[in-house]
Structures are given as C-alpha cells and as structure tokens.
Amino acid sequence: MGMEFYEVIKTRRSVRSYKPDPIPEDVLERVLDAARIAPSGSNRQPWKFIVVKDEETKKKLVPACHNQSWIADAPVIIVACARELDYNRGGYMGKLSGVMDAAIAFTHLILAARTEGLGTCWIGSFDNERVKEILEVPKGWNVAALTPLGYPAGGEGVFRETTDRKPLEEIVSTDKF
C-alpha cells in the first residue's frame, strides 16, 4: 500500500468517468480515516462525511449538482458537511469557518483516494439546500463539497502530472505580497 507522497500530489487528477466496480471496505475505511485525522482549528473537527452508496440517492444528487450526471456513475459519492461555528476565523469568515476545516479534511480524503488508485473530482457546483434536503443534513450544517469516488474508467493512465498550473514565481512571494 501507498505511494511516494509527491507522486500522489503530482498525479492527482479530476476524474469524470468511473468503473462500476465496488470499493473494498478496508480501502474505503482508510480513505475516510485520512479525513478523520486531518487538522482543524482548535481541534474542533466540525465535519461529517456522508458515504452515499444507494443508487436512487446518487441519482437524486445529480440535479442538485447542476446535472453533472457522471457523478452517479461512481460506486460512492462522498459528501463533506461542515458545522456552522461560532468562530470568526480571520475576523471575516463568520459561521462558515467550519467549511475551511472540512475542506482540509476533504483534501486529505482526496489524496488518500489517489494513493489507493481511486479517482475523485471535487464538486463545488451544487445547491446546498437541495443536497441538505436529500441527505437530511440538519440545521446548523452546510455542504462543503462532494466527490464521486471510484476506480477510473480509463485505468491508472488517467493519473498523470498536470501541465496547466501556474509557475511558482507567479504564486509565491517573500516577505510581502
């Protein structure tokens, strides 16, 4: 098990085509555990991950994700939920501060999935209220992101290093902006 870390982050790709093959429970548990152990502000861990396997529920999520129908092709959809926090991170994030922590954990999950040969695609285009209704997410919680989770239809070949990222000198500065 496992790959070299930098290889994992270099070859993680957004996968939009999945095999129907089930994910072994031990693999799914390792991926979810990677999210569980992620850091969070003051160790609040304001997250809940919904593992959607039911075919009807996956189909209901498609229109709630602006008709990205391919998400339902994966054997699993993971929905990251964030608790609204009474904590104003940075002095401006307000009750959505928990979304930041959920995003950190979701990143752990996505990188762990890549390590396991599983594809993901961070879905940020969704109707929060509709997804919450479908999955019975309680008041005081929001959906941070969703991802299909499964083996890529294109096999391991889909995991290749991306060439469309900005160079370091464009995104990094020293001492001042």
The C-alpha atoms of residue 127 and residue 121 are separated, in whole angstroms, by 17
Q: What is the DSSP letter of 95?
A: G
Mean pLDDT throughout 110-134?
98
Whether 118 and 22 have beta carbons less than 8 Å apart is answered as no
Strands 141-150, 76-83: parallel, antiparallel or unpaired by DSSP?
antiparallel
How does 120-131 read in b/e, with b if 16+ C-beta sit within 10 Å? bbebeebeeeeb
Give tens-digit pLDDT for 22-76: 999 999 999 999 999 999 999 999 999 999 999 999 999 999 999 999 999 999 9
Identify the burial level of 49 via C-beta atoms within 10 angstroms of its C-beta, where 0-12 means exposed, 13-18 middle and 19 or more buried.
middle
CA-based torsion, 124, 126, 129, 134: positive or negative: negative
Whether 146 and 47 have beta carbons less than 8 Å apart is answered as no
Q: Is the pLDDT of residue 165 over 60?
A: yes
Instruction: For the chain, give the mean pLDDT.
Output: 96
Give tens-digit pLDDT for 89-109: 899 988 889 999 999 999 999
Helix (H, G, I), strand (E, B) or coil at 79: strand
What ranges do the domains of the chain cover? 5-163
CATH of domain 5-163: 3.40.109.10
Q: What is the pTM of this model?
A: 0.94
Residue 18's closest CA among 62, 102, 68, 74? 74
* φ and ψ at residue 54, rounded to 5 degrees: -65, 125
